[in-house]
Structure 1
């Protein structure tokens, strides 16, 4: 098990290194991550490479028995390169070239930047290919983060034209698919097609979807070429990863396109950031970890785990005593196998002076150091547990064409895609279910329930797979606007919503209404049980389906929530932004129908079960609350986690025994 810190020895006088590494060893560190922002130290002048500083660092790591993950430094290029090659810069939508001084200012479609970046990667990796202390290479840093996934430079214009020529057999086909007859946008050649920069009103939705696919393709190709470069020159004992940033559903790229090619997925886990009054909810935090695990359907690393308060200009919420330690346990419960904390020590210069670490700039050993030390000591006893695969009965299914379609046309001022994901995810999370978050091309065979939030774009192949899954006894749960558009982001003439999903769901949608922000409407069952909903409503006409909730206003004749028996399974349609109580009721109903194992806990207490190869079951029992809590006879201090082994005799009652040390 690799346990460690992100270490930037170049930020300090090298004379501190012995003190730093001694303290790390005493804290329980066996791994450090280095080098990811140090291009200028390695190539101070073009073509003159010097790795002597990191040679000394690695020798010291070897002396102290610390393994090294080395980050390729391409996220922060040198000032000399910025001056010499201005065409490498990203250009904003308004045409303004991004300036030197931040990070990730490069364009993914700049051949110039690609060549320079691949060259430094080659020299670096070749230099350390035989170094046994270096066991892994990290590609770049947080690819596509902080808006770097978008660019409108001339390189991108040329690459977009080339991309479209590969996608379409002819310009006539493109015109037909996009419907460019509307507003007289018909093109005579691919070179006439602009980038979707500012215009009067808006650009064609099909064109904007292709632009977002192109953005994802551009980033992924850059990442893959860097992976290939590392693999070409690395040692056989060395592996390849990259650190994925959060905010998945707001990005202009699909993480799956390159992450599946990594040796293992790594993630930067920040439950809170500058400006947030509170951390994200435990359910949201769980969903993000489940998303990362779903990329390769494997357990994963965290290479930046928050310990101190974070922010660039605004310092964020300070994790309460043991809260950041709980987040570390929580990550292991959801599939993390190895963890590095960010960062070893806070910085006295530059843009991240407010990104606090295990040590602050006073360089004292404080509460945060002791929390990490106790966490490393405890979690290292559970390698077999955390290495065990997670088996889930439930999968939340997403599709980036749908995500981008919602980015392009929000349709309701109150709409937020991540909130709609959580609307389906959270009621099953509350049952303490394990949930995989997966792209729609993953095999559904091993699941019993599929959650499909606001799946606007649908094609015949996916519909067929969902029908087969349901007919064989599975349960699918769709929320509103399902299946209304085709793969080109267009409505289909003569097709009544929900389109190709109508036989599966057993409904037709007669009309729709976007509900403005702050507007709520009432829904109720035939027995008079009331609920509320917001954001959107589909006016549903059941065909074969049964109405579970109906509207109570002028549209009382229409259903809001339905269920349809399809083969051996059930298909639910939630045609509105139903409240938590309604969603919990549906989740409980599904759990009963499918015989899912649920665990009842009080609010803020989470239980995750893990089973090792020998069949032993362990429970991660976590208290996300700032006050004492209980699970059965287990007492939990504020923000505490206990890992306990279940008693075989009392498994049905969730009995527990102390772990075997």
Structure 2
């Protein structure tokens, strides 16, 4: 299945929007209205560590194959399967005429062979009778083209008519299977998105956007003022005159405040679409059946943090499709460690219950190019999922399809339907190794050193949306910037949570705030309190340039954070792609050309300086002590992350916390009494396994894409 793709700064920018002072109003109102689901460990047993499943599509195969396939699935050790997300046309072949006999049989066969079922709502694929009867349910892309029947995710989240039909099919499903003992959980939709089209410009979306704006601004004068509509004489007389900002309809760039609001609206609409279905299900399904949706973690138009009331938070992950070069010569066959790691730490941190509903099973069909995965890579990804605290992992799919749009997409089984594929063998190996780990499992406290190293990254999708729309340099990429810090923390052996600003900051000895461009003084005061109470705060470039609505401050540039970081003034520079500037920190020298904040210190220490350009000798990194804690401001964004990693290490050293020094591409994680070592690099690596440790799986010397698991 098409999923999130990693784009390099030299290629394509990930665009889009989320939170703010409006966080306190509209976004927080959304969260408060729907409530945060409490972590419910009754859904899962700790001793299971992680359960392994596989997608199956009975409607896509002859009925004579079903029992053979599901029996084989069970024999190979898969604990659950996944039905129905694309089956609306089979469930309801004509309006109001339902056909569930095939699904009854498929669920019964799964029960017969002791395979649990995750059942899905079929809303990503409305049937043709529905789209032809009500073509207004279809989304419209930025070119003004109505997206037609023939693929998936073509419906508008804003269509009331579509929701009427959703209510019918979801309610029928919930009533029929809500008490079925073999239904383990429910998945809403599938990768809610519009894929490459991203945003909906249909009349439904236009109307809903105006309603959203009315609720936010109350009257048109407030909107005109907030959007700065006196500029270019954009001002509106009423909300009905407003259209969704679309650069393809304009001779110049859209109003940035309108774009930010539209991205917020879209994320709210996606969340409402999912949570609407959750509420329909919860009316009829028993409490033991958990509810989730599978999101693409860094897909910019949809925000997992707006869906906090789901029972479980799950994601889709594909690492090898020609978009991610990984680490070293063979990295393109493994992907980047941060791809799974960051997703783990974002989704798990929402309420403690997370899973990977769709993990790459091997070679795929939709990439820039589609290489074979490195032998062992699929197995390594599964261990990374488990090490990240996820309760389950599921691959897409059990059988490689013989027809349709994904013929070249690997499955657990080869095209003959009876032979296990080469990457399928890796799933089977992990399933067998899980039996060993489950026998060795014993509850254990988190090692003290990990509690000392624990860090959080404060993620701001609002800031991401705003900067994606106004990057200022063709080299800026928010996710690449964040990952430089994420990778730096993991190299130190630090446990990481990726959090939003609703979380308790005091739970983390170290807090990284990357490019938090949109903020208010209330948040800055929270940061000050965090530092005064002993926290170590690391802030990066672009933070605090604007208020929550994307306005520059009528004050010094980045005024709200100047006192906090110990600066009198900040201005910034960019260099062309062909020119690298120099920054020095002690005896070390680093290259940069993406973004450079030039700092005029007011207090504290200068930890790094620029070594060329007209500001030669000016500060690039500041550090100061405040109360019981410290503040470090890193003004330079690099390509290779070496500067960022070195400054992080120095912050930990200053705090007296010991760290690891892991090579790039090497990951060490701890979960439930087990330590995991993973090698995403293209070289053999020695993992720092203590001499006293008991190795359960593997060995200290890891070849590329290999894994070691030990207990201490």
Query: 1:480·1:537 contact (CA, 8 Å) conserved in 2?
Result: yes
Query: 1:498·1:508 contact (CA, 8 Å) conserved in 2?
Result: no
Q: Counterparts in 2 of 1:340-351, with a 5 A limit? A: 340-351=394-405
SS at match of 2:621: strand
Report what 2:236 is aligned to.
187
Q: Counterparts in 2 of 1:354-365, with a 5 A limit? A: 354-363=408-417, 364-365=419-420
| Residues 1:156 and 2:217 aligned together | no
Report what 1:33 is aligned to.
82
* Higher mean C-alpha displacement, 388-397 vs 565-574: 388-397
| Residues 1:541 and 2:600 aligned together | yes
- Structure 2 length as normaliser, TM-score? 0.85
| Residues 1:418 and 2:418 aligned together | no
Once the two structures are superposed, what CA deviation does each residue of 1:570-625 show, in whole Å capped at 9, x if it has no partner? 11111121453322221111111223342334444322123x4xxxx421122334
1:303 pairs with one of 347, 354, 357: 357
Query: How far is the alpha carbon of 1:37 from its aligned partner?
Result: 0.5
Query: Are the structure 2 counterparts of residues 217 and 369 from structure 1 closer, same or farther at C-alpha, using a change threshold of 3 Å?
Result: closer
Q: Counterparts in 2 of 1:8-27, with a 5 A limit? A: 8-27=57-76
Report what 1:567 is aligned to.
627
Query: Are the structure 2 counterparts of residues 275 and 573 from structure 1 closer, same or farther at C-alpha, using a change threshold of 3 Å?
Result: closer
SS at match of 2:564: helix
Once the two structures are superposed, what CA deviation does each residue of 1:202-242 show, in whole Å capped at 9, x if it has no partner? 12211111111111111111111111001112133322111
Provide the C-alpha distance between the structure 2 equivalents of 1:27 and 1:626, rounded to a whole number of angstroms. 30
Report what 1:643 is aligned to.
709
Query: How far is the alpha carbon of 1:41 from its aligned partner?
Result: 0.5
Report what 1:169 is aligned to.
218
Query: How far is the alpha carbon of 1:539 from its aligned partner?
Result: 1.9
Provide the C-alpha distance between the structure 2 equivalents of 1:388 and 1:356, rounded to a whole number of angstroms. 39
Provide the C-alpha distance between the structure 2 equivalents of 1:480 and 1:504, rounded to a whole number of angstroms. 14
SS at match of 1:233: coil
Query: Are the structure 2 counterparts of residues 539 and 637 from structure 1 closer, same or farther at C-alpha, using a change threshold of 3 Å?
Result: closer
Provide the C-alpha distance between the structure 1 equivalents of 2:444 and 2:116, rounded to a whole number of angstroms. 19
Report what 2:296 is aligned to.
245
Q: Counterparts in 2 of 1:75-90, with a 5 A limit? A: 75-90=124-139
Provide the C-alpha distance between the structure 2 equivalents of 1:51 and 1:397, rounded to a whole number of angstroms. 45
| Residues 1:505 and 2:565 aligned together | yes
Report what 1:54 is aligned to.
103
Query: How far is the alpha carbon of 1:458 from its aligned partner?
Result: 1.2
Provide the C-alpha distance between the structure 2 equivalents of 1:385 and 1:96, rounded to a whole number of angstroms. 57
Query: 1:519·1:535 contact (CA, 8 Å) conserved in 2?
Result: no
SS at match of 2:124: coil
Report what 2:678 is aligned to.
622
Query: 2:56·2:83 contact (CA, 8 Å) conserved in 1?
Result: yes
Query: Are the structure 2 counterparts of residues 239 and 603 from structure 1 closer, same or farther at C-alpha, using a change threshold of 3 Å?
Result: closer
Report what 1:517 is aligned to.
577
Provide the C-alpha distance between the structure 1 equivalents of 2:547 and 2:368, rounded to a whole number of angstroms. 43
Report what 1:318 is aligned to.
372
Provide the C-alpha distance between the structure 2 equivalents of 1:512 and 1:170, rounded to a whole number of angstroms. 37
| Residues 1:215 and 2:215 aligned together | no
Gapped runs of 5+ residues in structure 2?
A: 1-47, 326-331, 692-699
Q: How many equivalent pairs are there?
A: 635
Once the two structures are superposed, what CA deviation does each residue of 1:173-198 show, in whole Å capped at 9, x if it has no partner? 22222221111122221112221023
Provide the C-alpha distance between the structure 2 equivalents of 1:557 and 1:315, rounded to a whole number of angstroms. 45
SS at match of 2:506: coil
| Residues 1:107 and 2:173 aligned together | no
| Residues 1:119 and 2:168 aligned together | yes
2:321 pairs with one of 252, 273, 277: 273
Report what 2:342 is aligned to.
287
Query: How far is the alpha carbon of 1:423 from its aligned partner?
Result: 1.9
Report what 2:422 is aligned to.
367
- Structure 1 length as normaliser, TM-score? 0.92
Query: How far is the alpha carbon of 1:255 from its aligned partner?
Result: 1.4
Query: Are the structure 2 counterparts of residues 318 and 577 from structure 1 closer, same or farther at C-alpha, using a change threshold of 3 Å?
Result: same
Query: 1:149·1:219 contact (CA, 8 Å) conserved in 2?
Result: no
SS at match of 1:240: strand
Provide the C-alpha distance between the structure 2 equivalents of 1:385 and 1:12, rounded to a whole number of angstroms. 42
Query: How far is the alpha carbon of 1:548 from its aligned partner?
Result: 1.6
Provide the C-alpha distance between the structure 2 equivalents of 1:483 and 1:179, rounded to a whole number of angstroms. 19
* Higher mean C-alpha displacement, 49-58 vs 129-138: 129-138
* Higher mean C-alpha displacement, 14-23 vs 462-471: 14-23
Query: How far is the alpha carbon of 1:20 from its aligned partner?
Result: 1.2
SS at match of 2:550: coil
Query: How far is the alpha carbon of 1:329 from its aligned partner?
Result: 0.4
Query: Are the structure 2 counterparts of residues 144 and 597 from structure 1 closer, same or farther at C-alpha, using a change threshold of 3 Å?
Result: farther
Provide the C-alpha distance between the structure 1 equivalents of 2:292 and 2:436, rounded to a whole number of angstroms. 25
Query: Are the structure 2 counterparts of residues 307 and 89 from structure 1 closer, same or farther at C-alpha, using a change threshold of 3 Å?
Result: same
Provide the C-alpha distance between the structure 2 equivalents of 1:246 and 1:385, rounded to a whole number of angstroms. 31
2:384 pairs with one of 330, 333, 340: 330
Provide the C-alpha distance between the structure 2 equivalents of 1:487 and 1:387, rounded to a whole number of angstroms. 43
Query: 1:39·1:74 contact (CA, 8 Å) conserved in 2?
Result: yes
Provide the C-alpha distance between the structure 2 equivalents of 1:124 and 1:299, rounded to a whole number of angstroms. 25
1:352 pairs with one of 406, 411, 426: 406
Provide the C-alpha distance between the structure 1 equivalents of 2:645 and 2:679, rounded to a whole number of angstroms. 21
Report what 2:552 is aligned to.
491
Provide the C-alpha distance between the structure 2 equivalents of 1:159 and 1:484, rounded to a whole number of angstroms. 30
Provide the C-alpha distance between the structure 2 equivalents of 1:604 and 1:409, rounded to a whole number of angstroms. 31
Provide the C-alpha distance between the structure 2 equivalents of 1:157 and 1:604, rounded to a whole number of angstroms. 45
SS at match of 2:710: strand
Report what 1:202 is aligned to.
253
Gapped runs of 5+ residues in structure 1?
A: 647-661
Query: 1:274·1:312 contact (CA, 8 Å) conserved in 2?
Result: no
Provide the C-alpha distance between the structure 1 equivalents of 2:642 and 2:389, rounded to a whole number of angstroms. 29
Once the two structures are superposed, what CA deviation does each residue of 1:340-376 show, in whole Å capped at 9, x if it has no partner? 2221011011111122111121332243333211201
Query: How far is the alpha carbon of 1:78 from its aligned partner?
Result: 0.6
Once the two structures are superposed, what CA deviation does each residue of 1:67-116 show, in whole Å capped at 9, x if it has no partner? 11101111011111111110011101121111211100011110011111
Query: How far is the alpha carbon of 1:557 from its aligned partner?
Result: 4.5
* Higher mean C-alpha displacement, 386-395 vs 187-196: 386-395
Query: 1:308·1:319 contact (CA, 8 Å) conserved in 2?
Result: yes
Cα RMSD after superposing both structures: 2.1
Provide the C-alpha distance between the structure 2 equivalents of 1:387 and 1:43, rounded to a whole number of angstroms. 50
Answer 1 or 2: higher relative contact order, Cα 8 Å, separation at least 6.
2
| Residues 1:446 and 2:500 aligned together | no
Query: 1:149·1:253 contact (CA, 8 Å) conserved in 2?
Result: no
Query: How far is the alpha carbon of 1:17 from its aligned partner?
Result: 1.8
Report what 2:38 is aligned to.
none
* Higher mean C-alpha displacement, 355-364 vs 150-159: 355-364
Once the two structures are superposed, what CA deviation does each residue of 1:487-517 show, in whole Å capped at 9, x if it has no partner? 1101122x11222111111113343223333
Query: How far is the alpha carbon of 1:121 from its aligned partner?
Result: 0.6
